[in-house]
Every structure is written in C-alpha cells, then in structure tokens.
Amino acid sequence: MDVGAPDEGRKTLELPADYAAVVARVGGLPLLLAYTHDAGLRQEMIESIDGLLIPGGDDLDPKLYGQEKHATAKLADRERQDFDLAMLALAEARQMPTLGVCLGCQTMNVQRRGTLHQHLPEVSEKLLPHRQKGDRSNAHGVEIRPGTHLAAAMGVEQLEANSRHHQGIDQVGHGLVATAFAPDGLVEAVEDPTMPFWVAVQWHPENLAGTAHEGIFRGLVEAAREYRRRQMGAGA
C-alpha cells in the first residue's frame, strides 16, 4: 500500500482500487500489505503470498542511485520506500513472481543499481510529454521486444499505453534488460530474463481494464500459481 495525505496529522494507508480489481479479475486474490519495519512481520508477509506487486507512487530518494534531489522531485514516503526495497529483496531471494508499476518499475531498476532520469522534460527536447493527465487515456505507442516475459504475458508486441510520469529509467539495473520502448526511445519496461517472472512497466496497465494490458496481471497470477506449486512440491 501507499501512504496517502495526512488525516488530522496521522498517516493514512491507501491504494487505488484498480490494482486489486484487476488482480481479482484475472483470477488472483489481492492482499494489501501495510508497511512495517519489523523484519519478522515482513518474513511472515512474504511467506503468505505467491506473488508481489509494487504499485505506483511518488519519487524515489535519488540518494539511492547517487544523485542530488531535483527541484521537481516529490519524494515518496521513506517508510514505504524502505518497505518496498526490503520486500523486493525477500522476493528476489525466493525467485517469487514480481511486477512493478510506474514507481514500482523505477524501484525495481534502482534496487538492481540502475539509475533514473529525475525530470524527463530536461533530458531532451526529442522526448514525448510523458506526464499526461487522466488514468485511461492512451498517450503513446509502446513497442515490446519479442521473446520476453512481457511479450508473452501481453500477447502483443505493439500497443497504446497511458503515461503520467516525469521520471524514467536511465541506466538499466544489473541483470535487467529493457523490454519495451516509447517511440522516443525511453525505456518503458524491464525484466530479469533469468527469473520466472520479474517484470516492471512504466505505464499504468491497471487503469486499462478490458484491454491487452490486463495480460501483464494475468501473467503475474499464472506465475504465482506455478510458484505455489513449486513451494508445495518442495515442502512435500
């Protein structure tokens, strides 16, 4: 879950309903995880799930990838950020199916020692305007590399995607490969081809119900089922 606006000085936990709705629609059981510093609780959480989804949110602290904060950056809640990184480490050690969306994509890249462009409008005049308003508008095309986990899950190699981010992947992280690109060449997705399902996308497929974009969540759920079968077999 993400951290919302303070309510009477108290933190609130929230998550856009589209995430849970699409996971349920493709046959998964969505469980919302509240951040915790307790390593024992995080261990119990990871042992209770079969797949992990890191949703969108505000910007990562650029100190994580060796940069100073850009004036336009709106930093994500530190406790949520630390929780996401801790859960990613636990999931990676287990080869657990994992999907990152928007901030989740950037977090998965930085977790592998990749870097980000902190403000895309300053990178190049040739870049498209990637921060579009609205959840469901198709902002630009995306080309997916064939033979990737992403292409297999989506069932297509070209599609229109929404776009509402001002940061993006610069250097791709260790062990990851870029698997999708915007028409201006900006990386739109990464994955680890050596893992069963370790995939991240920069756009918001959860907002695009009833389209090919649901395939990415179907791929996560199918990989999670296979993960459960492997775990049950290992414990038999």
Give CA–CA dist 34/62, Å, rounded. 23
Task: State pLDDT tens for residues 20-78.
Answer: 999 999 999 999 999 999 999 999 999 999 999 999 999 999 999 999 999 999 999 99
What are the distances in angstroms from CA 109 to CA 22, 29, 117, 118, 158?
Answer: 24, 26, 12, 14, 23
Identify each DSSP E strand in 72-131 by its residue range: 98-101, 116-117
In the numeric block, the tokens 């992947």 are attached to 169
What percent of the chain has a predicted confidence (pLDDT) above 90?
81
DSSP 8-state assignment for residue 35: P
pLDDT grade for 134, boundaries at 50, 70 and 90: low
- pLDDT surpasses 50 at 236: no
- pLDDT surpasses 70 at 11: yes
Model-level pTM?
0.94
For residue 165, the model assigns a pLDDT of: 84
Task: State pLDDT tens for residues 151-175.
Answer: 999 999 999 999 888 899 999 999 9
Closest alpha carbon to 130 in 101, 168, 164: 164
From the number of C-beta atoms within 10 Å of its C-beta (0-12, 13-18, 19+), residue 225 rates as: middle
Residues forming the active site: 102, 204, 206
- List of domains in the chain: 2-235 (3.40.50.880)
